[in-house]
Structure 1
Amino acid sequence: MSAMTSPAPDRDRPAGDQHIKIWFRFVPREGWLPYDREGLWAVAVGADTARISNVPFLQEGVAEGDVVRFTTDPDGVHWATERVEPSGNCTVRVLPIPHGPLGRSARAVHDRLAPFGLGSEAFSHELPLVALNVPADADFTAIKATLLRGQVEGWWHFEAACVTDNWQAA
């Protein structure tokens, strides 16, 4: 899961010791969560590059599977500097409308999108924001139609945080 705190020891490291935490800095968006950084798990693929292993909740312009370049500060914290190899995957975030038909249920969001085989993570029980990894070979047209239908029918709000030309064209 993405971390929304200051850099700290890797307590929630995925299985296997090859994962490192890559931190992203950004300016918080007005009216959104007040965080100015997000930590994502990644696997090093070079001395200063790593492939992102999970879906970002806050960082724009990066998706699971992308390769990013990073620098390491004197405290050993890895900070992303640029995306160097896009994966073709997309990042979409969905927030159920509390008084809508799905209520505050991240599980209901996941269930509505499960037929597409999307990987997802929920932020928390209190904030049921769902971050979705949309694989490069997914049916973008059908996924976008479902997202738009859900928005029109009052199920959720959504945003496409990292998309490809194929997503745009669908």
Structure 2
Amino acid sequence: MASVAPDRTTRDGQGMVKIMFRFVPREGWLPYDTEGLWARLVTADTARVANVPFLQDGVAEGDVVRFTTDDDGVRWSVERVEASGNCTIRVLPLPDGPLGRSARAVHEKFAPFGLGGETFSAEFPFVALTVPADTDLGAVKVLLESGETEGWWAFEEGCITDAWRDA
């Protein structure tokens, strides 16, 4: 299996550490079995996730995770200990759809909601969005579903809350 290797374990000057997550790759999906997320230490063995996950399910930006550190100094997540209330939603623009392969167009569609997010790469314009708990979740869901119906994108829910389910 390929893995997304940590390029560094700390982000100098920002108090950030890299926390690695292990998972079983999904068939037909990206072939990775690990993902590294930046986080800010909370305690000696917990950290608050500081960016949106592209691959790891069940965690969102702002969540606190517990980790262990291996002999090589790599920090591995073992569990989520505090949920932020944020959701992680992933959007892939369809190449033959009205947005083409434009991650920027995806970000523009969600800009009115003030959603933050990241793009996987220029070659693979996969967008991971953080949907804060205080966002109009129903309106975001309507946009996601209508965009999928209109052929703009495919989307998945990487980490959702009861409020998201109820919206």
TM category, shorter: over 0.9
- 1:9 deviates by 2.5
- 1:5 deviates by 1.9
Q: TM-score, normalised by structure 2?
A: 0.96
Paired position in structure 2 for 1:122: 119
Amino acid at match of 2:49: I
Mapping for residues 85-100 of structure 1, pairs under 5 Å: 85-100=82-97
**Number of paired residues?**
165
How far apart, in 2, do the equivalents of 1:74 and 1:58 lie? 25
Amino acid at match of 2:163: N
Please tell me whether residue 138 in structure 1 is matched to residue 160 in structure 2.
Answer: no
**For the Cα contact (< 8 Å) 2:8–2:18, is it kept in 1?**
no
- 1:137 deviates by 0.4
Which of 152, 156, 159 does residue 156 from structure 2 map onto? 159
How far apart, in 1, do the equivalents of 2:101 and 2:14 lie? 35
Gaps of 5+ in 1: none
Q: TM-score, normalised by structure 1?
A: 0.94
Paired position in structure 1 for 2:8: 9
Amino acid at match of 2:112: P
Which of 144, 147, 167 does residue 147 from structure 1 map onto? 144
How far apart, in 1, do the equivalents of 2:9 and 2:95 lie? 33
Please tell me whether residue 32 in structure 1 is matched to residue 36 in structure 2.
Answer: no
Please tell me whether residue 84 in structure 1 is matched to residue 110 in structure 2.
Answer: no
Name the Cα RMSD after superposition.
Answer: 1.2
